[in-house]
Chain A
Amino acid sequence: RKEVEQDPGPFNVPEGATVAFNCTYSNSASQSFFWYRQDCRKEPKLLMSVYSSGNEDGRFTAQLNRASQYISLLIRDSKLSDSATYLCVSLTGFQKLVFGTGTRLLVSP
């Protein structure tokens, strides 16, 4: 079993839709969590950090549930430019990031 698991998708949604991704993690010692975004044939880039209290950055909301060991990302009012793969990431130990295999999002006109 992978340490961080995600539904690979793809999630196909129309512009303006709200879409949510979840991921689960198995290492209860994981300290912090992040969502990275990766465009096709590009490098991953940090989208946002995830806090237990939940955090919001514009149209993006991230939430952490430590009791159930899952992380979520909500995207409101989807744009065509949101089409990408979203990587769920946990931090274990000193700077050691563990990546999920990613959830692919396709936003269509």
Chain B
Amino acid sequence: DAGVIQSPRHEVTEMGQEVTLRCKLISGHNSLFWYRQTMMRGLELLIYFNNNVPIDDSGMPEDRFSAKMPNASFSTLKIQPSEPRDSAVYFCASSLPSGGPQDTQYFGPGTRLTVL
């Protein structure tokens, strides 16, 4: 079975440009999570959706970041305009919550973003 799919795997852009990151959930999963990982701050949750509805976006750094889930299997994370401090690895993860505390989140391979 295919895991979480992210694209692009690498993105290099210039400051001020719009960046769109894409994620496809594992088939049948209904929760989606966007994380950002940097050396200084580690892995941080940006936003997560359950059944296409944003549940918690308190980790979104500022208005330049927006995330959507237009259908049950796909999500985008957009940064507009991008800044050098946005350079990081962005991971998407999905899960199928059963209501218990041990629901596993499966991570995609990540998108390595460099903003010059």
List A73-106 residues whose CB lies under 8 Å from chain B: 87, 91, 93-102
Q: Is B84 an interface residue (CB 8 A)?
A: no
Q: Is the interface of B mostly helix, strand, loop or mixed?
A: strand
Tell me which of A2, A42, A44, A95 contacts B31 (CB under 8 A).
A95
Pairwise interchain contact B107-A45, C-beta atoms closer than 8 A:
yes
Tell me, in angstroms, the Cα distance from A18 to B55 when the chains sit together: 41
Please state if B109 and A42 are interface contacts (CB–CB under 8 Å).
yes
Would you call A101 and B42 a contact (CB within 8 A)? yes
Tell yes or no: A57 within 8 A of B by CB.
no
**A-B contacts, CB under 8 A, total:** 47
| Complex CA distance for A43 and B109, rounded to whole angstroms | 5
**A95 touches which of B42, B103, B107, B110 (Cβ 8 Å):** B103
Give chain B nearest CB distance to A93 CB in angstroms.
Answer: 8
Q: Are B45 and A87 in contact (CB under 8 A)?
A: no
Minimum CB–CB distance from A34 to chain B (whole Å) comes to: 8
Are B45 and A96 closer than 8 Å at their CB atoms?
Answer: yes
- CA distance in complex: A23, B40 (Å): 17
Bound Cα distance from A43 to B33, whole angstroms: 13
* Pair B101/A32 contact, Cβ less than 8 Å: yes
Question: Is B48 an interface position by the 8 A CB rule?
Answer: yes
Cβ of B81 within 8 Å of any chain A Cβ, yes or no, is no
- B55–A97 touching, CB < 8 Å: no
Instruction: Check A46 against B42 for contact (C-beta < 8 Å).
Output: no
A residues apposed to B, CB below 8 Å: 2, 31-32, 42-46, 49, 87, 91, 93-102
The 5 closest A-B pairs by CB, nearest first: A101-B42, A43-B107, A32-B101, A99-B43, A46-B104
Q: Jot down 8 A-B pairs with beta carbons below 8 A, ordered by A.
A: A42-B109, A46-B105, A49-B102, A94-B97, A95-B103, A97-B33, A100-B42, A101-B43
